[in-house]
Amino acid sequence: MGLIWSLIVGAIIGVIAGAITGRGNSMGWIANIIAGLIGSAIGQALLGTWGPSLAGMALIPSIIGAIILVLIVSLVFGRTSKK
C-alpha cells in the first residue's frame, strides 16, 4: 500500500510542478509521476525534509525539487528539438 501512496503523491507533486512552470500540459501522467518522485529525491537532498510530509516525502522541498527538474528537462529537450 505504501508504493501506491508514493505514486499518488509523486503524481500530485509532478502536476503541481508542471502547473507552476507552465509545462505540465505537455507531460503525461507517467511523466508527472516520474517528475514528482525524482523531484522529491532532488528537493529533499538539496533542502532537507522540513515542512509537512506525506507518504514519506516532505512536500515543500519535493515540489521545489520537481520544479527544478521540470525546468531543466524542458530546457534540455527544448534546445535539442530546435536543432
Residue 34 neighbours by CB under 8 Å, 6+ apart:
10, 14
| pLDDT of res. 26 | 66
Confirm if 43 and 58 have CB atoms less than 8 A apart. yes
Give the tens place of pLDDT for each residue, 51-66. Answer: 888 888 888 999 899 8
Higher-pLDDT residue of 82, 37? 37
Give the tens place of pLDDT for each residue, 15-41. Answer: 888 888 877 666 677 887 888 888 888
Cα separations (Å) of 20 from 10, 25, 34, 39? 15, 11, 17, 14
Number of other residues whose CB lies within 10 A of the CB of residue 76:
10
pTM of the predicted structure, to 2 decimals: 0.80
